[in-house]
């Protein structure tokens, strides 16, 4: 695709730049071996979703973005080659050096051969579905993202029969049952050597048993990814919950978006598969011998915890923990937690206390993605059992969490909790919980938790987010109005302090940018620090360009998609920094210098089309000076990072920052040490 001097990078090309940055972490020799394997798994998982969502959307569209799809294929092919090189030429030899052997077709001793045979016939065979392919007669259905072996077979000659003529080839497929069994199988240890095999290779070794009377001439791995869109054309009429439930079944049978195949497969063999499985050539993506490297998340480590990243024990705010009650602590002051550095326990404690406090009459909250066996949902159920009124807004359209949210919604609804389901045409992505006590002297007693991340105690150990507790009436009164709007969807609330997508967020953000432009025009310092996961909203990008042209210094911290083009005349005052490290940078923080009196907002919203135009998002102000300075310190550390940070150039190359006199600075580790110093009288420095 020809590079043009444009003002917007294509969002999917930018996303591939982000995934390349993930792949770079797997190349980092300073990381422990299993941490590098984890980043390969993340890269692979990300790419699978990209094909099921983004590429599938192009396939559905009426336009034919052939040039873009060719560019995507070119970039992915390059990255996949790098992926293979890192795994096979770097990490597998390092495993071997640590007495962990990933075996393929190497000779195995007798005990291991016997183990494989027993494992295959007792554990694997019950899940296998071998199918002979007959063009035009047998059309097998390939499961979404499942791995198959495609085989070329030739009939064995009868006993004593002399083979004179070339035998006719047959073709077949068989599934690799990694949905039922581990993808990586540990074989018996021998002489201190640990041996691990792909489940695929255990099946390969025993293919003769599946097709008696045939010889296996060759076998190659294939995989089909399907469109993940739910295909709900009309959200405004009928039962949306029922439509979503029905569409989840259809997702498994979605139209193909990628046919991944071993690039060693002969062209005639590939042609036969294309015709037999009715695959479009436009969906062909060459790959290696193995697929679904997201399974590396569960690659066995017989030497654990050796070769793994050192854990950072979650921190607890001692002053917060000293309170006998979370509600009492919140009544005294505002509190900010920084996950995953801080434990998520105070959030669960907050909800559990509200559930049993006799003075609490009502709890309202949103649910976008919650953990399996969710402690949050359990607290809400407990609150209902204790006679509280509980209202939960459940977003049924949270992609890939629709089923889980449906199940939790049914459980809560059965318990008597009031469930508000998805708003047609919108997703509710706001992260907020509101606890209401019985009024005292006609004064509302309300407590809130607002967050940049989900109510999910499991992802809170991996996602870097901020969580805010307050009982400030300016905020809680507007939250009450917001929940009323979500329930009734009639009169829009009048907001002075909160920023809400669909109501005022774009207008208010534009005002704050204009204010910085005015300061710059008056010769005063003008600056913004804007942290988010993604930036693709053209009007917001144009506003940033306008600010840059007028002398406003803009530091962007954008982890993922960024359609803004830095390094050009119209963006000369804008830098874009991307941080990829052990924790997923997920927070959204917007800081405006405001003539030396900084204004700070946190939000659930990225500056993307979907967030600002098609979702209910929530942004909230941070007024407490101590908390504000704490967050500014964290942002400053991220801008100083010269280890895991990359600066984007105009082509979205991930450029390393100079170390500066050889001193490395890693923001996530420094943030942990900083918060540990704040939360403890001991200043213990963690070195990894």
Q: What b/e readout covers 626-636, taking b as 16+ CB neighbours within 10 angstroms?
A: ebbebbbebbe
Q: DSSP assignment of 408-419, as one string?
A: HHHHHHHTT-EE
Per-residue model confidence as pLDDT tens digits over 347-399: 999 999 999 999 999 999 998 888 788 899 999 999 999 999 999 988 876 67
The answer to whether position 201 is within a domain reads yes
Q: Mark residue 422 as left, alpha or beta (left: phi above 0; alpha: psi -120 to 50; beta: remaining).
A: beta
Give the separation between CA 498 and CA 472, rounded to whole angstroms: 12
Total number of domains in the chain: 3
Neighbours of 463 (CB within 10 A): 18
Q: In this predicted structure, what is the pLDDT of residue 160?
A: 58
Domain boundary among 463, 495, 527: 495
Q: Is the peptide bond prior to 434 cis by the omega test (within 30 degrees of 0)? A: no
Neighbours of 91 (CB within 10 A): 20
Question: What residues make up the domain containing 59?
Answer: 31-298
CB 466 within 8 A of CB 395: no
Beta-carbon contacts of residue 158 (< 8 Å; ≥ 6 apart): none
> How, if at all, do strands 214-226 and 335-339 pair?
unpaired
> What count of Cα atoms within 13 Å lies in the side-chain half-sphere of residue 338?
22
Give the separation between CA 19 and CA 235, rounded to whole angstroms: 32
The answer to whether position 313 is within a domain reads no
Give the separation between CA 7 and CA 535, rounded to whole angstroms: 13
Domain boundary among 298, 327, 357: 298
Per-residue model confidence as pLDDT tens digits over 624-670: 999 999 999 999 999 999 999 999 999 899 999 877 666 889 999 99
Q: In this predicted structure, what is the pLDDT of residue 239?
A: 52
Provide mean pLDDT across the span 599-606. 97
pLDDT averaged over every residue in the chain: 90
Provide mean pLDDT across the span 90-109. 91
The answer to whether position 21 is within a domain reads no
CATH number at residue 476: 3.30.870.10
CB 552 within 8 A of CB 528: yes
Give the separation between CA 558 and CA 589, rounded to whole angstroms: 11
- Which is more confidently placed, 681 or 91? 91
Strand residues in 85-162 grouped as ranges (E): 100-103, 131-133, 147-155
Residues 478 and 508 in one domain: no
Residues 475 and 549 in one domain: no
Provide mean pLDDT across the span 595-607. 96
The answer to whether position 121 is within a domain reads yes
The answer to whether position 4 is within a domain reads no
Residue with token string 């029905």: 246
Q: Is the pLDDT of residue 1 over 70?
A: no
CB 476 within 8 A of CB 363: no
Give the separation between CA 534 and CA 546, rounded to whole angstroms: 19
Q: In this predicted structure, what is the pLDDT of residue 368?
A: 81
Residues 463 and 583 in one domain: no
Per-residue model confidence as pLDDT tens digits over 126-180: 999 999 998 777 678 899 899 999 999 998 877 656 655 667 889 999 999 999 9
Give the separation between CA 282 and CA 258, rounded to whole angstroms: 8
429 is catalytic: yes
Q: What is the dihedral of CA 139, 140, 146, 147, to 10 degrees?
A: -90
Per-residue model confidence as pLDDT tens digits over 566-581: 999 999 999 999 999 9
Which of 160-164, 244-248, 295-299, 410-414: highest mean pLDDT?
295-299
Residues 475 and 510 in one domain: no
**Radius of gyration of the CA atoms of the chain, in A:** 28
H/E stretch holding 300 reads none
Task: Give the range among 11-25, 58-72, 83-97 with minimum mean pLDDT.
Answer: 58-72
Provide mean pLDDT across the span 313-342. 95
Q: In this predicted structure, what is the pLDDT of residue 5?
A: 55
Task: Give the range among 95-109, 127-141, 201-215, 297-311 with minimum mean pLDDT.
Answer: 127-141
- Residue 649 backbone dihedrals phi, psi, to 5 degrees: -95, -170
H/E stretch holding 440 reads strand 432-440
Q: Is the pLDDT of residue 447 over 90?
A: yes
Give the separation between CA 234 and CA 224, rounded to whole angstroms: 28
Residue with token string 């039922």: 180
Strand residues in 35-91 grouped as ranges (E): none
Residues 417 and 540 in one domain: no
Domain boundary among 466, 495, 524: 495
- Residue 365 CB-density burial (10 A; 0-12 exposed, 13-18 middle, 19+ buried): buried
Give the separation between CA 264 and CA 149, rounded to whole angstroms: 13
CB 355 within 8 A of CB 327: no
Q: Is the pLDDT of residue 237 over 50?
A: no
CATH number at residue 74: 3.30.1840.10
Q: In this predicted structure, what is the pLDDT of residue 251?
A: 60
Angle, alpha carbons 411-365-610 (nearest 5°): 100
The answer to whether position 17 is within a domain reads no
> How, if at all, do strands 184-190 and 193-198 pair?
antiparallel
The answer to whether position 688 is within a domain reads no
Residues 56 and 159 in one domain: yes
Residues 598 and 584 in one domain: yes
H/E stretch holding 206 reads none
Give the separation between CA 643 and CA 669, rounded to whole angstroms: 11
Q: Is the pLDDT of residue 249 over 50?
A: yes
Confidence band, pLDDT 50/70/90 cuts, at residue 682: very low
The answer to whether position 570 is within a domain reads yes
Residues 477 and 507 in one domain: no
The tokens describing 264, both together, are 């060693």
Give the separation between CA 85 and CA 566, rounded to whole angstroms: 31
Q: Which residues pair with 450 in a beta bridge?
A: 432, 468
Q: At what angle do helices 402-414 and 240-251 cross, to 10 degrees?
A: 140
CB 257 within 8 A of CB 47: no
Give the separation between CA 666 and CA 645, rounded to whole angstroms: 8
Residues 487 and 562 in one domain: no
Catalytic residue among 429, 466, 519, 537: 429
Residues 505 and 489 in one domain: no
Give the separation between CA 125 and CA 177, rounded to whole angstroms: 9
H/E stretch holding 142 reads none
pTM across the whole model? 0.91
Residues 324 and 243 in one domain: no
Give the separation between CA 381 and CA 388, rounded to whole angstroms: 10
**DSSP helix/strand/coil, 103:** strand
The tokens describing 23, both together, are 């792949």
Residues 482 and 505 in one domain: no
Q: Is the pLDDT of residue 444 over 50?
A: yes
Q: Is the peptide bond prior to 340 cis by the omega test (within 30 degrees of 0)? A: yes
Give the separation between CA 413 and CA 415, rounded to whole angstroms: 5
Q: In this predicted structure, what is the pLDDT of residue 597?
A: 93
Q: Which of 504, 500, 467, 472 has the alpha carbon at shortest distance from 486?
A: 500
Per-residue model confidence as pLDDT tens digits over 281-301: 989 999 999 999 999 999 999
């Amino acid at each position: 695709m020809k590079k043009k001097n444009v003002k917007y990078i294509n969002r999917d090309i930018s996303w591939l730049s982000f995934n390349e940055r993930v792949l770079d972490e797997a190349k980092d020799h300073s990381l422990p071996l299993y941490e590098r394997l984890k980043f390969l798994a993340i890269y692979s998982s990300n790419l699978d979703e990209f094909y099921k969502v983004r590429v599938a959307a192009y396939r559905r569209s009426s336009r034919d973005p052939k040039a873009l799809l060719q560019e995507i294929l070119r970039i992915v092919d390059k990255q996949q080659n790098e992926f293979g090189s890192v795994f096979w030429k770097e990490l597998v030899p390092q495993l071997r050096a640590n007495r962990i052997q990933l075996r393929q077709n190497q000779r195995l001793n007798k005990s291991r051969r016997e183990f494989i045979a027993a494992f295959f016939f007792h554990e694997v065979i019950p899940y296998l579905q071998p199918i002979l392919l007959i063009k035009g007669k047998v059309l097998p259905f390939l499961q979404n993202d499942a791995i198959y072996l495609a085989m070329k077979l030739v009939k064995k000659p009868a006993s004593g029969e002399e083979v004179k003529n070339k035998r006719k080839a047959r073709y077949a497929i068989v599934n690799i049952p990694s949905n039922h069994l581990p993808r990586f199988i540990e074989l018996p240890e021998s002489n201190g050597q640990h041996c691990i095999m792909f489940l695929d290779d255990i099946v390969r070794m025993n293919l003769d048993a599946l097709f008696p009377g045939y010889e296996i001439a060759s076998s190659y791995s294939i995989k089909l990814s399907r469109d993940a869109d739910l295909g709900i054309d009309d959200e405004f009429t009928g039962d949306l919950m029922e439509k979503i439930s029905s569409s989840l079944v259809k997702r498994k049978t979605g139209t193909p978006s990628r046919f991944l195949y071993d690039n060693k497969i002969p062209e005639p063999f590939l042609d036969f598969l294309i015709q037999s499985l009715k695959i479009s050539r436009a969906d062909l993506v060459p790959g290696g011998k193995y697929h679904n490297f997201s399974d590396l998340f569960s690659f066995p480590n017989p030497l654990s915890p050796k070769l793994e990243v050192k854990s950072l024990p979650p921190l607890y705010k001692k002053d917060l923990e000293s309170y006998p009650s979370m509600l009492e602590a919140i009544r005294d002051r505002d509190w900010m937690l920084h996950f995953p550095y801080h434990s998520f326990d105070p959030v669960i404690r907050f909800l559990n206390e509200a559930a049993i406090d006799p003075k609490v009459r009502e709890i309202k909250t949103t649910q976008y993605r919650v953990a399996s066996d969710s402690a949050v949902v359990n607290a809400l159920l407990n609150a209902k059992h204790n006679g509280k009124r509980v209202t939960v807004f459940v977003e049924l359209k949270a992609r890939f969490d629709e089923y889980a949210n449906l199940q939790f919604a049914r459980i809560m609804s059965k318990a008597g909790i009031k469930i508000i389901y998805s708003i047609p045409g919108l997703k509710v992505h706001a992260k907020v919980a509101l606890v209401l006590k019985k009024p005292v002297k006609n004064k509302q007693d309300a407590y809130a938790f607002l967050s940049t991340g989900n109510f999910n105690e499991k992802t809170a150990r991996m996602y870097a987010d901020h969580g805010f507790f307050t009982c400030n009436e300016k905020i809680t009164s507007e939250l009450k109005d917001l929940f009323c709007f979500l329930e009734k969807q009639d009169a829009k609330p009048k907001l002075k302090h909160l920023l809400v997508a669909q109501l005022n967020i774009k207008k208010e953000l534009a005002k704050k940018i204009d204010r910085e432009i005015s300061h710059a025009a008056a010769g005063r310092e003008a600056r913004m620090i804007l942290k988010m996961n993604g930036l693709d909203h053209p009007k917001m990008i144009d506003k940033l360009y306008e600010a840059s042209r007028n002398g406003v210094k803009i530091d962007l911290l954008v982890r993922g998609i960024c359609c803004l083009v830095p390094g050009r005349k119209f963006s000369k005052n804008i830098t874009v920094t991307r941080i990829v490290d052990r924790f997923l940078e997920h927070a959204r923080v917007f800081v405006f210098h405001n003539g030396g009196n900084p204004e700070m907002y946190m939000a659930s919203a990225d500056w993307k089309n979907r967030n600002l135009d098609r979702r209910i998002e929530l942004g909230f102000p941070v007024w407490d000076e101590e908390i504000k300075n704490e967050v500014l310190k964290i942002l400053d550390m991220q801008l100083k990072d010269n280890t895991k940070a990359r600066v984007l150039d105009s082509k979205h190359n991930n450029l390393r920052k100079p170390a500066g006199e050889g001193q490395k600075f890693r923001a996530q580790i420094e943030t942990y040490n900083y918060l540990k110093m704040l939360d403890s009288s001991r200043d213990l420095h963690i070195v990894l």
